[in-house]
């Protein structure tokens, strides 16, 4: 079992923020993310702190990355109307949902993603957030 980390959580492992210490303490086992995270993380680092790209890549290499396959795309496309997510967030939630019982749940610091993932029955945590 592992936790699914979205890009907001992965970035807290690279760019030290107030929640970073709590997140590191929380993560006691391997973690999983989707291929979309790699793009989001590297693009964010390229804008926010290009000197951290190498650290970002080192952290990403330690994370199990699952591909975005046709089933995940279909799930994201067909989320119920009460699920109000932007495209990339829908792909994260669909990825976590498709992983089902192989993950404990979703680690995110995106409030809208958290609310919507809970609507789908996904356990959501945000270590250190208030």
Q: pTM of the prediction?
A: 0.94
Q: What is the pLDDT of residue 49?
A: 96
Given a contact cutoff of 8 angstroms between Cβ atoms, the answer to whether 113 and 93 are in contact is yes
- The answer on pLDDT for 50 being more than 90 is yes
Q: What is the pLDDT of residue 130?
A: 83
pLDDT digit string, tens, across residues 63-83:
999 999 999 999 999 999 999
Those residues whose C-beta lies under 8 Å from the C-beta of residue 10, and which sit 6 or more positions away, are 33, 37, 41, 56, 59, 60, 63
Q: Which of 93, 96, 121 is nearest to 3 (CA)?
A: 96
**Across the chain, what does the average pLDDT equal?**
96
The CATH number of the structural domain formed by 2-125 is 3.40.50.1010
Residue spans of the domains in the chain: they are 2-125
């Amino acid at each position: 079992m592992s936790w699914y980390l979205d890009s907001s959580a992965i970035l807290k492992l690279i760019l030290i923020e107030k929640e970073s210490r709590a997140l590191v303490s929380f993560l006691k086992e391997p973690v999983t993310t989707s291929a979309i995270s790699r793009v989001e993380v590297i693009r964010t680092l390229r804008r926010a702190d290009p000197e951290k790209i190498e650290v970002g890549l080192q952290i990403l290499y330690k994370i199990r990355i699952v591909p975005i396959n046709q089933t995940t795309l279909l799930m994201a496309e067909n989320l119920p109307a009460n699920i109000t997510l932007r495209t990339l967030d829908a792909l994260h939630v669909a990825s976590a949902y498709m992983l089902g019982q192989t993950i404990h749940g979703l680690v995110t610091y995106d409030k809208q993603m958290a609310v919507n993932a809970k609507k789908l029955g996904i356990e959501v945590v945000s270590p250190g957030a208030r």
